[in-house]
Structure 1
Amino acid sequence: MSKPLKQIHLAAHFPGVNNTTVWSDPAAGSHIEFSSFAKFARTAERAKFDFLFLAEGLRLREQGGKIYDLDVVGRPDTFTILAALAAVTEHLGLTGTINSTFNEPYEVARQFASLDHLSDGRAAWNVVTSWDAFTGENFRRGGFLPQDERYSRAKEFLATTQELFDSWHGDEVVADRASGTFLSDAKAGAFVHQGQHFDIQGQFNVPRSPQGRPVIFQAGDSDEGREFAASSADAIFSRYSTLGEGQAFYTDVKSRLAKYGRRSDQLLILPAATFVLGDTDAEAEDLAKEVRRQQVSGATAIKHLEFVWNRDLSSYDPDGPLPDVDPDVGENHISKGRAQVRMYRDPLATAREWRERAEANGWSIRDLVIETGNRQAFIGSPSTVAKTINDFVQADASDGFILVPHITPTGLDPFADKVVPLLQEQGVFRTEYEGPTLRDHLGLAHPDDVREERAAS
């Protein structure tokens, strides 16, 4: 008997100004005006996507003490945007990244419970940690947490918010409007939490929301991050864009679930994916090359190289060869807040490898950054892209994708108009929403049902 086809999950990420967006293109709209977010959300909902995703921008990026062209406008507050989008959409899930290092459980739980009520059960939380002392200055924390302590705090942070969400128990508390009193002796929202990171007690003032708790996403790729997702998350983002890497990540994370009493279908694997469409595969390839050169300006290429070299390279020609000088591996880093955690753990080895590749291929600095940086995950005609996406999902390299267009807010339209119908024709993507909540879209059970299932087993 053949294996039944998996249903594909699709979501849309509205990116800030970064090396994915081509914000300088005449077709690009505002990254701060609400009309851009509303247009983007309506397109995602028209295409029957599971959810819209917003990342969190707590501080403008800088290098060498200056804000640079990858972050020229910042990003509005996540909760404000999602609450506003709840009013202009009916089905689309609303997912936001909120930091567990620089916030407090009571406030975050209250915000997400409120969003879940306002949206009739469409809220989701991407739980992240932060090692960035530069960002931490905004919160008067004067430093950062080591990696093991960041995840320890995140686990307790999430557990504490879940205690708050669960502190209202269905219909136990009934209000008598005539007398203005409660008819039940139940203490609505009462909580007490004592732990390593939080020692709080009181009463949570937002009633149980439609989903019970927001859907929980997690984005860490470290061993600690994968374990955190396996124990606590409903979905995990993946950064792997090749079939083999995707399958390895999928297998690893799913294999961790059993120790927490969870089934494979209780955690979704959703990589982020950029795309470029053309009438033919060749046309799409040509367009993708043009997009990459728009994404990586000469100034951007130099800034990217400076992050690895840890030196001021502003005197170098981005269309010239790589520097002969080696990276500075000293304690102080050119980008504040990143001195202790480097994206490239061995800058000297990275520099040697990049010089060899640049010399072998005749690449300039800009060429190298284009070739080694983020690549479009899906390039081709609509039929090619639809087939590739389906192949990934059916081969257990993912459960779906979070699509990141390079133009906002209109960049999602070609995918919605040309690729989604092909997936629907193949029977691997919905033609209508199955239920009102984000948990319905993702095929996830209500927390109360999961609790009852575990109690019965």
Structure 2
Amino acid sequence: MTGIAVREGEHRKPIHLGAHFPGVNNTTVWQVPEAGSQVDFASFEHLARVAEDARFDFFFLAEGLRLREHLGRIHDLDVVGRPDTFTVLAALAAVTDRLGLAGTINTTFNEPFEVARQFATLDHLSAGRAAWNMVTSSDAFTGANFRRGGFLPHADRYRRAAEFITVAQRFWDAWDAAAPQRVVHRGEQFTVDGYPELPRSPQGHPVLLQAGDSADGREFGARHADAIFTRHGTLEAGREFYADIKARAAAHGRNPDHLKVFPAATFVIGDSRAEADEKARHIRLLQVGPQTAINFLEQVWGRDLSDYDPDGPVPQEDPTFDAVTQGRTRQGDPREIAARYRARAEAGGLSIRELVIEMTARQQFVGTPEQVADGIDRYVQADACDGFILVPHLTPTGLDDLAARVVPILQERGAFRTEYEGTTLRDHLGLPPLSAAGSERRTG
């Protein structure tokens, strides 16, 4: 793989980068001495400082609302739970100056006034760097932690989310220098009658991110979001998704350039491609240990598979679909999923563990610093995305090597900033300012 040459005068589409704090995912490696805490503030601060020194757009904090259970026990398929999102991001606002601060807050189990107030507070404390990753939930298992409990059908959770963001935006826009404006809303999900408690924040609204690849999720994101967090990893799938979501934004009367697309991606860097490949193989074996492989397959088969050898063949029996795992679901008919898994395993001669490693793989950049830079740049220049949310496998030092060895290459190519040009996250992402009414200001 060779570097991407930059000809004099050639336009380079700017790359945007977010740094995902490891923990709430199945990529984090905890079994090595260098792995740190996912709850110590020093871990959050380290990753944020490294990201800001490298001129990343934002720090991204995911969130889990309930510990997952497997066969009635808390399991370690991945790590869930950490200190409260707003508390962590507010603390990070005090130790960073330019880095955007993005938090995942659920629209199913919160209330619009409270979330609007919390994000307005964060935007004030950070001088305009707040971002909200809007997510929904439809499972009763998570809901059992909350007063209402129960669950929402898939389509209803987006209807609630749309009404939620509408009410929140009305609170953000209701402040007037002369006097706060009253917010009155009566809808299917919310009945609200009140006033905002804070002056308009530096960005007006936090930057709105959304994660959802379904048709409903795409429509919601195209209408409401400033950035989309997607799982599409291959170049071809990325280009298809990118074209689709931009077209949907245009159909809603929006400028497609004002909706950014961010796939998640992991990375492994070595002094040679062979070294990077070996490191990547070792990391995947740590991420998917024998018990994790069996646990993963039990979620599909719906039965206890503890008698199976993780290094042996995939079960030939059909799933029973008993609820052995709560808090994590597979989309679709279990029998069809199992058949697809069997076919994949047979075609590749894969054991259970090898199959799970393959099926859970994210988009991954593996190679020398130059090769990793090539991969990131290629996706952005080919309109497969506008940038990446990078997911390190180590807490909190997993971003250090990429920041030191890959980012300078992207900067030399003119595809990534060497300094922040603005002060707010909207500035970093190239989004226009908002008018007092919450819409994009039109110029020209």
Normalised by the size of structure 2, how large is the TM-score?
0.94
Q: CA separation in 1, counterparts of 2:316 and 2:214? A: 33
Q: CA deviation at 1:334?
A: 1.9
1:210 to 194, 202, 208: 202
Conserved? CA contact 2:107–2:135, under 8 Å: yes
Residue 132 (1) aligns with residue 122 (2)? no
Q: CA separation in 1, counterparts of 2:154 and 2:235? A: 29
What 5-or-longer segments of structure 1 have no aligned partner?
Answer: 174-185
Secondary structure, aligned partner of 1:256: helix
Q: Which letter maps to 2:325?
A: S
Q: CA separation in 1, counterparts of 2:409 and 2:338? A: 43
**Match of 1:180?**
none
Structure 1 residues 143 and 252: alpha-carbon distance in aligned structure 2, compared to 1, 3 A threshold = same
Residues 154-196 of structure 1: CA deviation (Å, up to 9, x unaligned): 0010010000000113xx23xxxxxxxxxxxx3x152111111
Q: CA deviation at 1:55?
A: 0.6
**Match of 1:314?**
306
| Aligned 1:363-442 pairs, distance under 5 A | 363-442=350-429
**Match of 2:325?**
335
Residues 265-304 of structure 1: CA deviation (Å, up to 9, x unaligned): 1100011110000011111111101100000011100110
Q: CA deviation at 1:449?
A: 7.7
Q: CA deviation at 1:375?
A: 3.6
Residue 228 (1) aligns with residue 215 (2)? no
Conserved? CA contact 1:280–1:380, under 8 Å: yes
**Match of 1:99?**
106
Structure 1 residues 49 and 194: alpha-carbon distance in aligned structure 2, compared to 1, 3 A threshold = same
Structure 1 residues 454 and 72: alpha-carbon distance in aligned structure 2, compared to 1, 3 A threshold = closer
**Match of 2:168?**
161
Q: CA separation in 1, counterparts of 2:127 and 2:395? A: 27
1:197 to 161, 168, 189: 189
Secondary structure, aligned partner of 1:138: coil
| Aligned 1:110-149 pairs, distance under 5 A | 110-149=117-156
Q: CA deviation at 1:453?
A: 6.1
**Match of 2:430?**
443
| Aligned 1:213-362 pairs, distance under 5 A | 213-329=205-321, 332-336=322-326, 342-362=329-349
**Match of 2:4?**
none
* CA root-mean-square deviation: 1.9
The size of the alignment, in residue pairs, is 437
Secondary structure, aligned partner of 2:435: helix
Of 319-328 and 395-404, the range deviating more from structure 2:
319-328
Q: CA separation in 2, counterparts of 1:380 and 1:118? A: 39
Q: Which letter maps to 1:336?
A: Q
Residues 393-416 of structure 1: CA deviation (Å, up to 9, x unaligned): 011000000000001100100000
Q: CA separation in 2, counterparts of 1:161 and 1:291? A: 42
Secondary structure, aligned partner of 1:355: helix
Q: CA deviation at 1:328?
A: 1.1
Structure 1 residues 119 and 189: alpha-carbon distance in aligned structure 2, compared to 1, 3 A threshold = farther
Q: CA separation in 1, counterparts of 2:252 and 2:103? A: 25
Q: Which letter maps to 1:388?
A: G
Conserved? CA contact 1:257–1:264, under 8 Å: yes
Residues 408-434 of structure 1: CA deviation (Å, up to 9, x unaligned): 100100000000000000000000001
Q: Which letter maps to 1:65?
A: G
Conserved? CA contact 2:155–2:216, under 8 Å: yes
Q: CA separation in 2, counterparts of 1:314 and 1:307? A: 12
Secondary structure, aligned partner of 1:139: coil
What 5-or-longer segments of structure 2 have no aligned partner?
Answer: 1-7
Q: CA deviation at 1:354?
A: 2.4
Larger Rg: 1
Secondary structure, aligned partner of 2:102: strand
Conserved? CA contact 2:128–2:424, under 8 Å: yes
Conserved? CA contact 2:432–2:441, under 8 Å: no
Q: Which letter maps to 1:90?
A: D
Q: CA deviation at 1:370?
A: 1.0
Conserved? CA contact 2:101–2:131, under 8 Å: yes
Q: CA separation in 2, counterparts of 1:452 and 1:167? A: 13
Q: Which letter maps to 2:315?
A: P
Structure 1 residues 200 and 67: alpha-carbon distance in aligned structure 2, compared to 1, 3 A threshold = same
Residue 52 (1) aligns with residue 83 (2)? no
